[in-house]
Amino acid sequence: MDQSRIAVRYAKALFELAQEKKLVERVKADTDLVAQVCALPEMVQLAESPVIKPSAKAKAFDKIFSGKVDALTLAFLQMVVANRRERYIGAMCRNFASRFYDYANIRQVHITTAAPIDEKTTERLRKAIAELCKSEVEMTASEDPSLIGGFVLRIGDQQLDASVSSKLNNLKQKFTQTSIN
């Protein structure tokens, strides 16, 4: 079965169960932690090792996450390991997060600028996007000096590239495609 289909099915099941038990926010926090831990090289090696028995993996997951995540999340992890799907946990957590953001009407926004922008500007931009999208906005920012100026704004899977470097590249392409007679 395709990895994405596996992740989608497991995340959907966990999300529906979390909704039923009214633990969506708690499980979202848990899956954030699980994704972070499972991205560590040691955990990737543990999850992908065909030599380590599922019972040993289950004990390791229990020891790592017991007391740190809700019982529902821990039971889910144990089931994933029992079904030998532990290598897909990161994708399951990302899919759960995506479902959570849709459920909570939260848009993830990332802005990349050539130079740092101050908090006041970031907050004004966040409010404007929230009003435009009619949703809550979770905003992150980063810098990339290669943009020269302007910004690249990503809202979900849409991107607005208003950077100087992009405009210069467009001009360069137009000049190289134009023939002089």
Q: What CATH number is associated with residue 116?
A: 3.30.360
Question: Would you place residue 86 in the very low, low, confident or very high pLDDT band (cuts 50, 70, 90)?
Answer: very high
pLDDT by residue (tens digit) across 27-57?
A: 999 999 999 999 999 999 999 999 999 999 9
pLDDT of residue 40: 96
Are residues 172 and 96 part of one domain?
no
Question: Does 130 score more than 70 pLDDT?
Answer: yes
Are residues 117 and 38 part of one domain?
no
pLDDT by residue (tens digit) across 134-168?
A: 999 999 999 999 999 999 999 988 999 999 999 99
Q: What CATH number has the domain bearing residue 64?
A: 1.10.520.20
- The verdict on pTM exceeding 0.85 is no
Query: Is the dihedral angle over the CA atoms 50, 53, 57, 63 positive or is it negative?
Result: negative
Question: Does 1 score more than 60 pLDDT?
Answer: no
pLDDT of residue 9: 97
Are residues 14 and 96 part of one domain?
yes
Range(s) of the domain holding residue 78:
3-102
Are residues 113 and 87 part of one domain?
no
How many domains does the chain contain in total? 2
The rounded distance, in Å, linking the Cα atoms of 132 and 135 is 8
Are residues 97 and 114 part of one domain?
no
Helix (H) or strand (E) holding 162: strand 158-163
